[in-house]
Amino acid sequence: MDSLFAFGLGVSTLNRAGKVIDTFFPAPLHQVTGAVASQIQDRFTAGSQQVSPASVQAFIDQVQPELRPLLEADRDLTAVFLPKDSDIGSTSEAFLKLHLLSHRLRLPNTMNLDGIFGHLPNIAWTSRGAIDLTELASLQLEARVRGEYFEVHSVDKFPKMANYVVPTGVRIADTSRIRLGAYLGEGTTVMPSGAINFNAAALGPNMVEGRISQGVILGADTDLGGGASTMGTLSGGGNITISIGKQCLIGANGGTGIPLGDRCTIEAGLYITAGTRVTVVDETGETVRVVKARELAGHSDLLFIRHGSNGAIQCRTNRKAIALNEQLHDHN
């Protein structure tokens, strides 16, 4: 038997009409095989389903005892069983896939997320939990009249990750900046100006003070400086998926619209886009050639600066990039 793609048993919030608007999966499963897979196939149908706690007691006892607290629920639970990584077909399925990313079970850009926007309703995320936007105004009014108060933290299709899972070994100064579906590896610190979208990753360890756009992956020991920007496919980067390798530094208020290899540096305040004209300079300071930045995409050991006297954007080779230089010289 092939492995099953994913399974999750959790708790949903329903709106007044009984529609699921959010699902919390405490312990999602991924790439399930063997006896566990058999149990899931025997007990659940593909897709999303509401199930009573009693009906899943045996499953929980035998397969996921860590979910025993779910048996105390006084309402139905939500089970999502995805035999394959198909298009997203329901709100709970979308939440399950987002959980897989934030639980570090799956890397960004490796899952089928088609249909995610259509199946995630826009929700008011409040101190009373998820509230359907059509119900919000009357609840706010009723609370005020009673002298009560609740806080609307966010109005978005995606909730903040930390209310669903806080992976081990991370620090997050302001959780409102990290959507469920972000992948934060061990050793990731996100400062107040850092932000990580869904389907985006800091593989860790990383210092993240800038924005990691949807689809972008940051390698180990790479720092994203304060306010630094990475272009995502949803935010100006077009079809190029940006990845940044290991031991890179994007300086404060800098940014990149091209993928970078390892040990690259972009100086503070400099933004490199795919079309930026870059003067490549070798170890002796001699100009090798002038290229569009996209031609340097993915190379390692590059240092990008804008010259203080003549305003030229230069790409200087860090140590060990001799091979690259020779290659560029060949094209001269």
Least Å from the CB of residue 5 to a second copy: 24
At 175, list the tokens. 């959780």
Which residues have a Cβ under 8 Å from the Cβ of 43 and sit 6 or more positions away? Answer: 56, 59
320 touches a second copy by CB under 8 A: no
Look up 209 and say whether it is catalytic: yes
CB environment 232-248: b (16+ within 10 A), e (fewer) = bbebebeebbbbbbbbb
Q: How far apart are CA 159 and CA 156, in angstroms?
A: 7
Least Å from the CB of residue 268 to a second copy: 4
> Based on CB atoms, which residue is closest to a second copy, 83 or 132?
132
Least Å from the CB of residue 211 to a second copy: 5
Q: How far apart are CA 45 and CA 93, in angstroms?
A: 13
> Based on CB atoms, which residue is closest to a second copy, 45 or 122?
122
- Per the CB < 8 A criterion, the answer to whether 50 and 76 are in contact is yes
Q: Which of 38, 50, 86, 140 binds a second copy (CB under 8 A)?
A: 140
Instruction: Pick the stretch among 32-40, 56-64, 88-96, 147-155 that binds a second copy (CB under 8 A).
Output: 147-155
Binding mask 208-227 for a second copy (x = CB under 8 A): -x-x-x-----------xxx
19 touches a second copy by CB under 8 A: no
Q: Could you say which of 72, 151, 209, 295 is catalytic?
A: 209
39 touches a second copy by CB under 8 A: no
DSSP alpha helices (H): ranges in the chain?
A: 34-43, 57-62, 91-102, 116-119, 133-145, 322-330
For strands 123-126 and 152-156, give the pairing. antiparallel
> Based on CB atoms, which residue is closest to a second copy, 22 or 301?
22
Least Å from the CB of residue 304 to a second copy: 11
Q: Which of 46, 105, 107, 136 binds a second copy (CB under 8 A)?
A: 136
CB environment 292-303: b (16+ within 10 A), e (fewer) = ebbebbebbbbb
Q: How many residues bind a second copy (CB under 8 A)?
A: 90
At 79, list the tokens. 């089970």
> Based on CB atoms, which residue is closest to a second copy, 156 or 282?
156
Residues within window 101-130 making contact with a second copy, judged by CB under 8 A: 122, 124, 127-129
> Coil, strand, or helix at residue 263?
coil
33 touches a second copy by CB under 8 A: no
Least Å from the CB of residue 215 to a second copy: 14
187 touches a second copy by CB under 8 A: no
Q: Could you tell me how far CA 19 lies from the centroid of its own chain?
A: 26
Which residues have a Cβ under 8 Å from the Cβ of 45 and sit 6 or more positions away? Answer: 81
Residues within window 65-104 making contact with a second copy, judged by CB under 8 A: 69-70, 72-75
Q: How far apart are CA 325 and CA 328, in angstroms?
A: 5
> Coil, strand, or helix at residue 49?
strand
Least Å from the CB of residue 223 to a second copy: 8
Which residues have a Cβ under 8 Å from the Cβ of 62 and sit 6 or more positions away? Answer: 39
Residues labelled catalytic: 209
